[in-house]
Amino acid sequence: MPGRTEEILARKGDIMKRALGMDYAAFERSPIAFDYEGMMAAHGYSLEDIIAIQRAGGVGKTPLLELRNMTDLVRSYAEPGHGARIFVKDEAANMAGSFKDRRASISIHVAREKGYEGVIAATSGNYGAAVASQAARASLACIIVQEAFDSRHVGQPEIIEKSRLCEAFGAEVVQLTVGPELFSHMLELLDETGYLAASLYSAFGVSGIETLGYELAQEMTALTGAPPTHVVVTHAGGGNTTGTARGLARAGATSTQVVSASVDLSGLHMASDTDFNRKSFTTGHTGFGVPFATWPDRADVPRNAARALRYMDRYLTVSQGEVFYVTEALAKLEGLERGPSGNTAMAAALSLARELPSKATVVVQETEYTGAGKHHWAQLNFARAQGIEVRAGDPAENVPGKNIIIPTSPEQVRAKDFPLAKMRRSYIRNALDHAGAGYTPTDEDLEFLAADTKTTPDVVEEIIAKLKAE
């Protein structure tokens, strides 16, 4: 119904305003700048409030585990004096099995407090299960909209498993084929039901992740005498990096390096029907990580609370095969069989720990549950069925969408740096493009762009000058 779709999209601002209970216009300062901290604080919940809300929902206070065997493995091939201690925050212990329970618990609390009868979320991953679980505890209706299939009606085993899990929690699951209709259909459902939009990118949702960074900083200080030197975060839409970094800062861990990590899926387009099932990861990959970092306001909210470039100190990428290898190593060496998302950061952490001195401490800040559909064997079998070559060898030969190369030794797990300077430049170019031709950034804009890219106004001015000269 093209006419209906166009009509819904024309009203998206009003629909989202009612569905979120927030007027984003109040925070706008210019075509570029907005009051980010004001928006983040507008929900009115203190960190202590959020912790209490999460505890009531059975969320948070997850175990922090030292992975001594993984550390010993890294030290067995690292240079003398190198090989950082590796820890993991076991977020699989949350109600629905991932850190996304933290943001879902706050969204559900907001829905109940503001009198919504139900919630809607558009997600094919862990967030849907988290929202459905928390909605069940709160006796709220729940609709999860999934981009689940390609045009052949073939769905990835991980997404199909999430459908089953959401339904087990009592949610209604609406499944769509890959394409732009996901957002418009969610808007239509929000318009029809009057439910809360439990967006991944709302201020209250991202604030819910701050407790994760806050907890691990406190727990590492109690365990080792200091906050971690490095925290590795699986990066997709940016909420995980943003919330964790903000929580670390709240705990006083201002010297901790925040390292984001994604699976390298370069060359594959996430909105492509043909590419959709040629990847084995539904999240935590560059197909989301790069676009959302370089233009966060592509989200379903007017202004995205997840702004990863504000907090990233380094961005590492790993191959699919490296993640699958580390997934099995974690199970066999530490007795932790966990899903692929958190193990993206784990693979990057192994590579990072190798280059750091032995006195350094690296925390992988989340795990997720695994199951029949999320298990790496299911993913590899599905890849073979799609014509992807799966073999042991050198992961440097990895070609996303063509093959999955499983390392033959841990030394071959080598994360690659994705250039932050390139991402900052892309973000600033996108901000200028969205401001419109002929717009001249103000001093307030320069300060905002500097904060949003973790640079300085002088660096921003230099980048703008180079863009104009091109």
CA distance 242 to 245: 5
- Mean pLDDT along residues 39-50: 97
What average pLDDT is seen over the chain? Answer: 96
Instruction: Provide the token pair at 467.
Output: 């863009």
For residues 258-295, one letter each, b for 16 or more C-beta atoms within 10 angstroms of the residue's C-beta and e for the rest, the string is bbbbbbbbeebebeeeebbbbbbbbbbbbbbbbebbbb
- Tell me the average pLDDT across 231-238: 97
Tens of pLDDT, residues 336-394: 999 998 999 999 999 999 999 999 999 999 999 998 899 999 999 999 999 999 999 99
Residue 9's alpha-carbon distances to 5, 25, 356, in angstroms, are 6, 18, 49
pLDDT band at 426 (very low <50, low <70, confident <90, very high): very high
- pLDDT score at 4: 78
Q: Is residue 105 located within the same domain as residue 122?
A: yes
* 31-40, 61-70, 271-280, 310-319: range with lowest mean pLDDT: 271-280
pLDDT of residue 5: 82
Residues 218 and 280 in one domain: yes
Q: Indicate if 194 and 233 belong to the same structural domain.
A: no
| Whole-prediction pTM | 0.96
Does residue 1 register a pLDDT over 60? no
At residue 282 the predicted structure's pLDDT band, cuts being 50, 70 and 90, is confident
Mean pLDDT of 430-441: 95
Of 184, 205, 226, the one marking the end of a domain is 205
Answer yes or no: do 63 and 49 share one domain. Answer: no
Give mean pLDDT, residues 214-230: 98
pLDDT for 139 beyond 90: yes
CB count within 10 Å of CB 144 equals 29
pLDDT at 252 over 90: yes
Kindly state whether residues 358 and 266 are assigned to the same domain. Answer: yes
Question: Are 341 and 259 members of one domain?
Answer: yes
pLDDT per residue over 104-115, tens digit each?
999 999 999 999
Choose among 126, 127, 141, 128: nearest CA to 196. Answer: 141
* Residue 180, pLDDT above cutoff 90: no
Same domain (yes/no): 255, 314: yes
Reported as a single tens digit per residue, the pLDDT across 74-92 is 999 999 999 999 999 999 9
Residue predicted with more confidence, 300 or 251: 251
Note whether 122 and 105 are same-domain residues: yes
CATH number, domain containing residue 342: 3.40.50.1100
156 and 9 inside one domain? yes
Q: Are residues 210 and 284 in the same domain?
A: yes
End-of-domain residue from the set 379, 398, 417: 417
| Same domain membership, residue 162 and residue 142 | yes
**Of the residues 185, 205, 225, the one at which a domain ends:** 205
pLDDT value for 2 = 56
* pLDDT score for 63: 98
Residue 27: pLDDT over 90: yes
Our count of domains for the chain comes to 3
Domain around 459:
425-469
Output the CA torsion 123→44→310→287 (10° steps): 0
Do 250 and 226 belong to one domain? yes
Looking at the predicted structure, is the pLDDT value of residue 452 above 70?
yes
Express as a percent the part of the chain with pLDDT over 70. 100
